[in-house]
Structure 1
Amino acid sequence: WLDFDNPYQTIDPGYIESAWWAIQRADERGLLERGHRVVNWCPRCETAIADSEVEYWDETDPSIFVKFPVVGRENEFLVIWTTTPWTLPANVAVAVNPAFTYARVRAKKDGGEEVLWIADELIEPVLKMGRYQDFTVLERLSGSDLVGMEYASPLAGHVPHQAEIRHRVVAADYVTLENTGLVHIAPGHGWDDYLVGIREGLEAFCPVDAGGCFTPAAGAFADMYVRDANDVVIDALGGYLLARRTITHRYGHCWRCKTPIIYRATAQWFLKATCIRDSMLEEIAKVKWYPEWAGSARFHDFVKESRDWCISRQRYWGIPIPIWHCDRCDGYTVIGTVADLEERSGTKIADPHRPYVDAVTIPCSCGGEMHRVADIFDVWFDSAVASWATLGFPRQREAFDRYWPADFITEGQDQTRGWFYSQLGASTVAFGRAPYKSVLMHGFALDAEGRKMSKSVGNVVTPEEVMNQFGVDVLRFYVLWANAPWDDLKFNWDGVKTIHRALNILWNVYRFPLPYMVLDSFQPASGETDRWDGSFVRSHIRDMPEEDRWIVSRVNTLIRTIDEDMQEYHLHRETRALAAFVLEDLSRWYVQLVRPRMWLDEDSPEKRYAYETSYYVMRRLIALLAPFAPHITEEIYGNLRQEGDPESVHMLDWPEADDLLVDAHLEADMEVIRSFDDAVATARQAGRRKLRWPVAETVVVTESVDVKAAIEDLNTLALNRANTRTVRVAFGTWDRILWQAEPVMRAIGPEFGREGPKVKALIEQADGTVLKAAIEREGKAELDGYEITARHVTFAEALPEGVFAAPMKDATVYVDVTLTPALEAEGYAREVIRRIQEMRRQLDLNVDDFIIAAVDVADERVASLIKKEEWQKEIAG
């Protein structure tokens, strides 16, 4: 159902125009800016990259403490700490927190003295690291008092430009009480540093080229790759190095090539996201998020801290940025369409890609000539315009007006800083609103222990591995069934096998009535339009047996449930409800109830009802299942499809619940019968009496009016399921239940003292049923002159011989498995039937295969039974 003949591709000219149009809108709204700022930079790709394109993992780097000499004070230093020694050639300032207290410390080491400035709370750990033997605090000042203090670069002899800079202390609230409490500032190599530099008027000195190598401005370090230069810079510090360690910390890497990034001040094009941040936050609140916290917390918090978006990339392949710049007047213009470019340049544009578009020039109003800037768009901007570019906007409006904004999008948790954000930013710039109405943030697939799958760990399970073993539908259904879509999936093979079994059972349930339908040449009844529409079931529902009315009601209730869960994208609830319906309602219950009717005469109304009901339920069910198990439902539909039906199950209308066919009372009654059925099976197992052997009586003891009503309303069904002569309800108690009295010695001992053993014996010998009744009636009873209350005795059921009990919901079921001669004969007769049917199965006979069965029975009672016509039909079936 994907249009592979007409996929949307960012390479298409129409798609490119959609991106061009969006950037022109940004310029029209004053939201496009060319600036010289610090950006994430990949030195291998030689391009800026967005925050969302940075991947983090651990790296081990130098951790150094450096002394910056204070100007005009001999042997006095500011102590800073850094993990990027290569940025020291670009240092222009030191930042302190104005609210912190800093100490001027005289420190002694190896017979010498130095005066060091360190945050007061960090004196001892810093001096210990520098191996100082003793110290004295000379004075303490607030950070604000240090602002303006001047110092010299310890690398001035290696980097000539450092000697030209007036280095000074500045204030910064983000400085923390870690390491030394003083931070080295290089505005050309850090975003926070850059912002401080803007505020303080500091130079954004950046002696690093696009490949991550020092330029000649770095003096002695020229031509070195910056990360390789760390050790060289450290060595150049000489005596200014106070201490050297290493640190393992999270460090950013390029998402494409995995190279460690650097921060570099360059000229780039930016969307001024900070100007529309409030609008984006308002739009987030209008979108329906699944789960809710994905929008209100995670995404909201990310957008709240978002920076201006660097949309330019120094690469070749991609959508060219449609900005033409004039070197003569430094003006620029933004082109929104190919037609606009052709008109203004007088050139026919065959292809809006590089290198063709690079050759196009535009006359400038100053008399100069405009050339296209060499950059391309950030690929996240390519994807950001997808919601309208895929609809052909702005070239065409019809599809856009009909389908935009998108009803629904979904992506992984990591896309709060990726596609969710890029779409929101671009759309808010272009249209002033979000491009989507609802967003589902899904989790990730992990191993069974909740660990990330990794080849190195050896815990990777590929989709192909699951599909090759179990099929596509099983994988699809399992992923949706295992947990809520926004939670991480802990992949488990047992869960896959459970779904494989469920879909196999679905197939078997579908196949179950087919041989009988073929034998009887069954065709489902058509509706008024000569197409199947389920009208037969609707018009005959009152005449149908309870099990038919029940399963019809259940499938329509299921449709309601699925609809409600669909509204909230509770895909796990939907798939679990569907699986439970197949396994419990259809396979374990309805098929068992309806099976005997498949053997009725061809013209039997009850058989016709069974066929029509089975067909109705399967048609409704596969339409519900189709999105979750598309292949098996397509196969089933292809076999059930009638003349005039759509070609595919996926072309059917989504099922709507038929409220007239929903019988909540019958469904509740049937739940009682199913609970009763389980209890009967448990009691029979305790009494070692198989279900095929009839029993004389089954009693349900309850205080629930609902249980009583259900057993009475569906008594025939209860009789058949229990294979019992009678089923009756005893409200409150059953007169055949006996009670055995058991003394409570912890109460008897303290009250009766030495008479306790006698009282104990009296209770054990008493008629428990009589004693229980007396205590319940009077609150006490007398035994040989001793007053006995509920404190002194408990009562345990003492069932009559041959009676076995099992609990059900709100009731207890008692089954009398005592055999009479007639019951025993019927039991053996049913054993004969079972064995003949087993022989048919072993011989792999079809339903319509004719057989001759010879039965030699020694017991005349059994023989007389199997000679009867109704029994012979059962044997033949």
Structure 2
Amino acid sequence: MPDNIEKTEKLEMAKTYDPSLVEGKQYRYWEESGFFHAEVDTEKPAFSIVMPPPNVTGALHLGHAMDGAIQDILTRFKRMQGYNTLWLPGTDHAGIATQAKVEEQLVKEGTSRVELGREKFLERVWEWKHQYGGRITQQLRRLGASCDWERERFTMDEGCSKAVREAFVKLYDKGLIYRGNYIINWCPKCHTTISDIEVEHVDSEGNLYHLRYPVKDSDEALVVATTRPETMFGDTAVAVHPDDERYRHLIGKTVLLPLTDREIPIIADDYVEREFGTGALKITPAHDTNDFEIGLRHHLPQIVVLDKEAKMNENAGKYVGMDRFEARAAVVKELKTEGILLKIEPHANAVGECYRCSTVIEPMVSKQWFVKMDPLAKPAIDVVKDSRLEFIPDRFEKIYLGWMENIRDWCISRQLWWGHRIPVWYCEDCGHEICASSDPAKCPACGANHLKQDPDVLDTWFSSGLWPFSTLGWPEETPELKQFYPTSVLVTGRDIIFFWVARMIVMGLEFKNEVPFPKVMIHGLVLDAQGRKMSKSLGNGVDPIEVIDQYGADTLRFMLITGNTPGNDLRFQPERLEATRNFSNKIWNASRYVLMNLEDYVEGPRGELTLADRWILSRYDSTVEKGTEALENFDLGEGGRLLYEFIWNEFCDWYIELTKPRLYDKENVLARHTAQSVLLEVLEGTLRLLHPYMPFLTEEIWQNLPVPGDSIMMQSWPKLPDYQDSVAEANMTLLMEAIKAIRNIRAEMKVAPGQKVEILILAPDNLQRAVLEDGKADILKLAGGASVELFETLAEKPSQAASAVLEGVEIYLPLKGLMDLDKEIVRLEKEISLATLEQQSLEAKLSNPGFTNKAPAQVVAKERERLEGIVARTAALEERIRDLKATL
């Protein structure tokens, strides 16, 4: 820690936890102290994560918050385990979105990018980036992200840009990048191509138009069914299935294209679905992805009938200049007038929309740059099939393989100005094409210096695909690259597997001959309470910063992580925020109680441990073991649940209450010291376990504890203290069950909280009786007892007494004059019903050979023992009901 940084100022612990007084202070302390920074250290094992770079235009949303919380939990966990830990942050230049933002500004100023020119426009974009681009990284700090901000990267910084050029040139030189005419997705509003996976398919109500195409030199006609009659001017064939007997005799003939009388052939292709529409399909290769592939197979011409604004071009005859949807209405009207339109059927289909602006996408043949994906996809498939790369949960492996095994060439050019410009130049004198890592001065073919660079930029995902190694210095073999690549795990949402994950795997294998990460942890989406995706149009979005302002970052993080399993979507429910805030206050108040009772604490040897001490230490030991295992297995929700149960139900509700008599006994110094020592050990260790989940709260409390160190985040992860004590756990469980049973009777019989009651306990088993005898003081205090009497046998059971039956133990509360016998019988019958259900479940389990033959023998024996206990308990309850009925 730098010499000028001191531990944070301690606040007097208020009655309730106020995150606003803690979070900013603690984060500044962590960052200024350099706790997040990682230097190369080959003496330590490495753990590294690269942050999925959020768009530089973005603001934190709940998906970012969940993603960031998961990465931070893993990072803090591994840092505490002693790894040389790097969480590398950064942002993406977001070509389409960023250019749109700046163009919006220019419109307000009464100008445009065209008027400014490319160079001046790019200057404006960089100005915008420097002014607004850091918003989301500041918001990630609010979340508690322990990134190495000293290593923050940007997809268009100097190092990443060098890597992009190097990758492009290497792929180009290997013949894996080419330029050609191909069908692409064109956004008429953003004025650029977008990839297949950036097209969102939205269910839409449309029509199926049945059109009559006359067969030349015949009285016959083919009737085709289409959803887009305005594209018919680009038809270059009609296709039928080769086995369709209705049309087999027409294959090889031609039809006259309506409204043009242009002849087009009738072809046979297996792609045609005989059952769809009329079984005859008009083929428009320049404006339909599937038609394009059919056109290639049959060597059909490609006639483009729409321009970049999605308006009809000169090939559409008199409809030139019309918007595509306006033209559809006009064409349908003329077809109807000419008797060509036979009928219109309602037809629902999925319409492709731009993921950025929701404009309907136009498939269009265009000259673009592509990456050949087949040779690159094979090794990326193999690493998953042979388990060199694993998805968590593994069900996402099938989705990944499904995409990769059906992959098409990747269109990487975008008609934008903001982005990595394609490093290809054309000689204006001889037409030679030059691809180079640095700008060429002259044409290597003819020596001329009249060179013009390709105007397009690369798809944003091209640079993002290099992210795991470009951020570490590639193409140079830097020390950081050697230590931190491959990274340890990738954390990302299920909606981005092909957008980003697949491309990183492809690029990592191609340029580093290694997977970029051995594990991919997939989390679900955060939905609203009704299970809908959050969106501006629905108005159901939730701003994480507003949640943090109201509840604190720890509450948001813990709520997003717990109550869910890996890969599943999470419904955002405000009531869960309230419950998690209550949990924070529970921890805070428990810690205040411990601290108030540590004022005279001096470290030293403990006295004899009580049953409660041995029990809590054993439960703490188990929580360390299972909590660590959950994090190692990326089951963060289960790890959080274990901590919640241990802290709330065991440490706070039971152990703290059980320590009070010793802590308040100033005479028995050793007993008081022992209780203090166990409280401090368990609290401090539990705070370390909880720290990755709730970093701010745990740091603030830990700073107030009498323990050495600069920060909880720099402490070691708790190791198993080897306090496992199954006898103590069983005995304490018996004592707690007895106390809970008495409390339940009091509550159901509406005994006033301050009213003490006699407690009679029948415990034939000597060991059980001894445990309850030793715990009499705890029963009196925690169950509101006036007296506790234990019996090995009872000659006559109390008649007017409420009762509870545990395994091997019966408890009676004489409530003469306070008890409604009929009500007590109903209560006991309810207990029998619940016990019967549990008995039936166990009997079914034990009668299943799949369980009894495969489960460990000790597990089966334990279940049989449980069944015997339930049967005995049910019998005792039934006997008690008979006794009560006899007194009525």
The equivalent of 1:101 in structure 2 is 245
Alignment of 1:185-584 (within 5 A): 185-237=283-335, 238-245=338-345, 247-285=347-385, 286=387, 287-295=389-397, 297-326=398-427, 331-336=432-437, 341=438, 345=440, 361-367=441-447, 370-454=451-535, 457=538, 459-518=540-599, 520=600, 522-523=601-602, 525=603, 540=606, 543-584=608-649
Separation in 1 of the partners of 2:769 and 2:179? 80
Separation in 2 of the partners of 1:415 and 1:433? 21
**1:279–1:432 Cα contact (<8 Å) kept:** no
Farther-moved stretch of structure 1 (171-180 vs 720-729): 720-729
Alignment of 1:715-754 (within 5 A): 723=785, 728=790, 730=792, 734-736=793-795
Question: Pick from 140, 154, 161: which aligns with 1:9?
Answer: 154
Equivalent residue letter for 2:713: H
Question: Pick from 259, 267, 279: which aligns with 1:155?
Answer: 259
Farther-moved stretch of structure 1 (432-441 vs 609-618): 432-441
**Cα distance, 1:391–1:174 mapped onto 2, change above 3 Å:** farther
Separation in 2 of the partners of 1:466 and 1:700? 53
Separation in 2 of the partners of 1:180 and 1:702? 84
Local SS of the residue matching 1:292: coil
Equivalent residue letter for 1:268: Q
- 1:251 is displaced (CA, Å) by 0.8
The equivalent of 2:236 in structure 1 is 92
Local SS of the residue matching 2:488: coil
**1:97–1:181 Cα contact (<8 Å) kept:** yes
- 1:282 is displaced (CA, Å) by 1.9
Q: Identity over aligned residues, as a percent?
A: 28
The equivalent of 1:813 in structure 2 is 811
Local SS of the residue matching 1:228: helix
**2:252–2:265 Cα contact (<8 Å) kept:** no
Separation in 1 of the partners of 2:561 and 2:268? 55
Q: Which runs of 5+ in 2 are unaligned?
A: 1-145, 818-888
Question: Could you list the per-position Cα deviations for residues 582-623 of structure 1 after superposition, in whole angstroms to 9, with x for gaps in the alignment?
Answer: 211111100110011121227701111122212111111111
- 1:332 is displaced (CA, Å) by 3.5
Separation in 1 of the partners of 2:186 and 2:538? 31
**Cα distance, 1:456–1:40 mapped onto 2, change above 3 Å:** closer
The equivalent of 2:29 in structure 1 is none
- 1:306 is displaced (CA, Å) by 2.0
The equivalent of 1:38 in structure 2 is 183
Equivalent residue letter for 1:404: Y
Separation in 1 of the partners of 2:269 and 2:575? 60
Separation in 2 of the partners of 1:9 and 1:685? 61
The equivalent of 2:124 in structure 1 is none
Question: Pick from 50, 67, 87: which aligns with 2:195?
Answer: 50
**1:269–1:311 Cα contact (<8 Å) kept:** yes
- 1:152 is displaced (CA, Å) by 1.8
Equivalent residue letter for 2:324: V
Structure with more strand by fraction? 1
**2:624–2:718 Cα contact (<8 Å) kept:** yes
Separation in 2 of the partners of 1:228 and 1:422? 39
Separation in 2 of the partners of 1:709 and 1:199? 87
**Cα distance, 1:24–1:571 mapped onto 2, change above 3 Å:** same
Separation in 2 of the partners of 1:362 and 1:61? 55
- 1:330 is displaced (CA, Å) by 5.5
Does residue 652 (structure 1) correspond to residue 715 (structure 2)? The answer is: yes
**Cα distance, 1:669–1:624 mapped onto 2, change above 3 Å:** same
Question: Could you list the per-position Cα deviations for residues 231-264 of structure 1 after superposition, in whole angstroms to 9, with x for gaps in the alignment?
Answer: 2333443322222355443211112222111011
Equivalent residue letter for 1:288: E
Local SS of the residue matching 1:183: strand
Alignment of 1:127-166 (within 5 A): 143=248, 145-156=249-260, 163=262, 166=264
- 1:420 is displaced (CA, Å) by 1.9
Question: Could you list the per-position Cα deviations for residues 74-116 of structure 1 after superposition, in whole angstroms to 9, with x for gaps in the alignment?
Answer: x3211111111221111001121223332xxxxxxxxxxxxxx
Separation in 2 of the partners of 1:736 and 1:474? 56
Separation in 2 of the partners of 1:150 and 1:664? 86
- 1:429 is displaced (CA, Å) by 3.5
TM-score where L is the length of structure 2: 0.70
Separation in 1 of the partners of 2:757 and 2:332? 94
Question: Could you list the per-position Cα deviations for residues 424-456 of structure 1 after superposition, in whole angstroms to 9, with x for gaps in the alignment?
Answer: 333344345432222222222223232334566
**1:444–1:489 Cα contact (<8 Å) kept:** yes
**1:324–1:362 Cα contact (<8 Å) kept:** no
Local SS of the residue matching 1:169: strand
Local SS of the residue matching 1:425: helix
Separation in 1 of the partners of 2:809 and 2:170? 71
**1:718–1:727 Cα contact (<8 Å) kept:** no
Does residue 631 (structure 1) correspond to residue 696 (structure 2)? The answer is: yes
Q: Between the two structures, name the one with larger relative contact order (CA 8 Å, sep ≥ 6).
A: 2
**2:272–2:281 Cα contact (<8 Å) kept:** no
How many residue pairs align between the two structures?
A: 666
Local SS of the residue matching 1:363: coil
Local SS of the residue matching 1:27: helix
- 1:464 is displaced (CA, Å) by 3.9
Separation in 2 of the partners of 1:327 and 1:428? 37
**Cα distance, 1:714–1:31 mapped onto 2, change above 3 Å:** farther
Question: Could you list the per-position Cα deviations for residues 671-721 of structure 1 after superposition, in whole angstroms to 9, with x for gaps in the alignment?
Answer: 222112211223455677678776665324578x98678557867756765
The equivalent of 1:682 in structure 2 is 744
Equivalent residue letter for 1:50: S
**2:486–2:514 Cα contact (<8 Å) kept:** no
Question: Could you list the per-position Cα deviations for residues 187-242 of structure 1 after superposition, in whole angstroms to 9, with x for gaps in the alignment?
Answer: 11122111111111111222333332333333333333333321233344332222
TM-score where L is the length of structure 1: 0.71
Alignment of 1:173-188 (within 5 A): 173-188=271-286
Separation in 1 of the partners of 2:426 and 2:362? 28
Separation in 2 of the partners of 1:581 and 1:294? 32
**Cα distance, 1:460–1:34 mapped onto 2, change above 3 Å:** closer
- 1:394 is displaced (CA, Å) by 1.4
**Cα distance, 1:331–1:666 mapped onto 2, change above 3 Å:** farther
